[in-house]
Each structure stands twice: as structure tokens, then as C-alpha cells.
Amino acid sequence: MLTTLAKGKRQTSRILAIAVPAALWLGQMLGQTATHTIQRGETLGVIAKKYGLSASALAAHNGIANPNKVKIGRKLIIPAKTETLTYTIRKGDTLSTIANKYKTTAAAIAKANGIKNPNTIKPGQKLKITKGTTGKPTKAKPAAIASSTLREINRPRIRRNRWKHIVVHHSADSNNSIRGMEHYHRRDRRMENGLAYHFVIGNGVNTTDGKIYVCDRWKRQIQGGHIGSAALNEIAIGICLVGNFEKTLPTAKQKSSLKALVSRLRSRTGIPYNRIYTHRQFHHHKELKSTICPGRRFNLRSILST
């Protein structure tokens, strides 16, 4: 009797071993997504290989910033079906436009192809892309901007081709307040128009976490005071996140608000994705005096592409 039961259990195990992968495969072929609960000893790479995916694509699909830090028991959503292809970059392409076309993310493409700076891609360069076929974009939508703030952003009339760039800064101090920054720029730095930026995003200390403060320079559509060049201040929108990102990371709400604000400003001004810079990147690009702003722990492209 025991021998018969043991044989029955072994046969059931074999059937399940064949049936589970087959069911997952069938579900993917029918356009359905599967889920996978992370077990002890599993890595994202091992799980991704099981489903015929790349680790970067699986991470991007589940919003995982660091593939090396996954928790046992977490449920992963497996894309319905994917296809790896080679894409040749054309003139005018950006990683974001390519990612949108193939239902993936710019971050996933950059990681899969070892691209550290998305602005260095060139026409003719070949990219490996894991294309999704679920019919649903994997990029998260930017957070909604408060209606009162949105009205302030939309209110000014903008001349055609008025703005050419968006430059992102940090305040270099986690305790800044709007009043304190205004006082410093007007009294200490002798700026006639006060606070140097067009927008400030709070961090929750002396400003509301994630709140977008629409500054006077945007309301009046006048030049900024945030770049070491009068000519460039005339055409560059300045956004400052409160904090010192040499020491800490921006808050989740700050990152979400920055992405939403950049999206709205691009819609209003027509500024292309490749003209959005950190202060450090912009000064290097224009051969101005070097700066560490907004700090080594601030990753602009990661924030905008996830």
C-alpha cells in the first residue's frame, strides 16, 4: 500500500513539474501575465532566465531600482511575452522615444546595452531591446500635480521658443525654506529679482515634501539666476530640489514631483528630452565653471525614465 502511494506521489510531482511551466507558457502565448513569488536562494537573473527574459527587463517591469536587492516572498509580475530584437538608432532618436515604441523603459535599454550617459547615443549604433507584447506600457505615469499648482504653471503666456533648456539643481542644504532661500539670493547674492530658480521642490523639513513651489521668475517669465552665464540664464528654466544630494537621496515624493513637473514643462515649452540637464552636466557641456550640483547621489536620468 505504501509503495503504491509513494509511486502515486512521484507521478503527481512529475505531472506538476511538466504542467506548471506549460501553463505559464500557454498563459504568456495567450497574452496573460503570470506571477512568481521569490523563493530563498533565487536571484532576479535566475527568475528572469526561467521565463525567457532579461533581468533588466524583469526589474523594469516591476519597478525594481536595484536588482541585487529583492526580498523573499515578494511577488513579481512576469510580462506576458517578450521578444528580443536589434534596433539601429536613427537621427533624432532618444532612448525614451525608442522605449515608448517598444513598450519598455529607457533605463532598461540603457542597462541592457551598458549605456551610462543616454546623451551619447549616435545614429547607426545598434541596441538590444527586449520588446513587450502585452499592449500595456511599462513606464509609470508621472504623479498628478495639485490643481492649484498646475494653474500657476499654466497661467503665464510663453513666447514661442522662449525656453531652450531645463536645468536641475539641489539647494545643498536639507534645512532650506523658501523664505530663507529668497533672503539669501536677494540680500547676500545681490540678485535684483530674488530667488534664482523658476521652481523649487520641497523635502519635508522646512518645506512640504514633494510640493512644487512656483517661483516669481516663472510667473513673470523672466531669466533665471541659477547658471554662471547671463545669456544662458535667459533661456534655461531652473528647478531646485531642497536637499544636499552629496549626502542623501531625494525623497520619493521629490522624485515623483520632479518627473511630473518636467513632463508638464516639456509639454508647455517643447523642450526636448536631451536638453534636460543637471547643473553639473550643463556646466560641463557648456565649458563653464565646474560644479558638483546636484550631488553625486542624484541620478536625473533614472528619475525621469522610471
Neighbours of 278 (CB within 10 A): 22
Mean of the per-residue pLDDT values of the chain: 82
Higher-pLDDT residue of 206 and 60 is: 206
Q: Please give the pLDDT value at position 166.
A: 97
Q: Please give the pLDDT value at position 257.
A: 95
Specify the 3-state DSSP secondary structure of 132. Answer: strand
List residues bridging with 6 in a β-sheet: none
Higher-pLDDT residue of 94 and 264 is: 264
Q: What is the pLDDT of residues 142-201, one digit of tens each?
A: 567 999 999 999 999 999 999 999 999 999 999 999 999 999 999 988 999 999 999 999
Lowest mean pLDDT among 106-110, 159-163, 235-239: 106-110
Domains of the chain by residue range:
18-78, 83-132, 147-305
Higher-pLDDT residue of 254 and 144 is: 254
Q: What number is the average pLDDT over the span 215-233?
A: 94
For residue 18, the Cα-to-chain-centroid distance in whole angstroms is: 39
Share of the chain above pLDDT 90, in %: 45
Name the nearest CA neighbour of 164 among 256, 255, 282, 284: 282
- CATH topology (fold) of 18-78: Membrane-bound Lytic Murein Transglycosylase D; Chain A (3.10.350)
**Measuring CA to CA, how many Å separate 107 from each of 96, 115, 177, 182, 238?**
9, 9, 33, 36, 24
Q: What number is the average pLDDT over the span 31-42?
A: 73
Q: Please give the pLDDT value at position 5.
A: 42
Long-range contacts of 184-192 (CB under 8 A, 24+ apart): 185/225, 189/225, 191/225
Q: 125: buried, middle or exposed (CB in 10 Å: 19+, 13-18, 0-12)?
A: middle
Domain 83-132 superfamily per CATH: LysM domain (3.10.350.10)
Q: Is the fold of 18-78 the same as that of 83-132? A: yes
Q: What number is the average pLDDT over the span 10-30?
A: 42
List residues bridging with 295 in a β-sheet: none
Q: Please give the pLDDT value at position 240.
A: 97
Buried b (16+ CB within 10 A) or exposed e, 4-22: eeeeeeeeeeeeeeeeeee
Q: Which CATH architecture has domain 147-305?
A: 3-Layer(aba) Sandwich (3.40)
Q: What number is the average pLDDT over the span 87-115?
A: 83
Share of the chain above pLDDT 70, in %: 82
For the cut 70, the answer to whether the pLDDT of residue 133 exceeds it is: no
Higher-pLDDT residue of 298 and 4 is: 298
